[in-house]
Amino acid sequence: MGIGLGVFLIIAGAVLAFGVKANVNHFDLTTIGFILMGGGVLVILLSLLIFLPRTRRSRSTAVTTDAYGRQGVVERDDRISGL
């Protein structure tokens, strides 16, 4: 949802900054458009920072049986580095 909101803000800001030539009292639509585009970029960056995992884990379990029928369990927990 965060990336979609960011894209929406960038598009709405671009429309206001580059496409609208109306004069509104006390408002500069070009500046508001640039602010919306900056907010959209910020939302996308924060969404990627929060939702991308920094590390992943890999778990495995191995069960071995010796000649006498005894079982041994070996569990392995590895961290895989991300970015």
Give the separation between CA 53 and CA 36, rounded to whole angstroms: 27
Give the tens place of pLDDT for each residue, 12-31.
Answer: 999 999 999 888 888 889 99
Give the tens place of pLDDT for each residue, 22-81.
Answer: 888 888 899 999 999 999 999 999 998 888 766 677 788 889 998 888 989 888 887 776
Residues 6+ apart with CB under 8 A from 68: none
Q: Residue with structure tokens 């949802």?
A: 1
**Phi (first) and psi of residue 67, to 5 degrees:** -65, -25
Q: Do residues 44 and 25 lie in contact, with contact meaning Cβ atoms separated by under 8 Å? A: no
Task: Name the E strands within the chain.
Answer: 55-65, 71-81
Q: Is the pLDDT of residue 83 over 60?
A: no
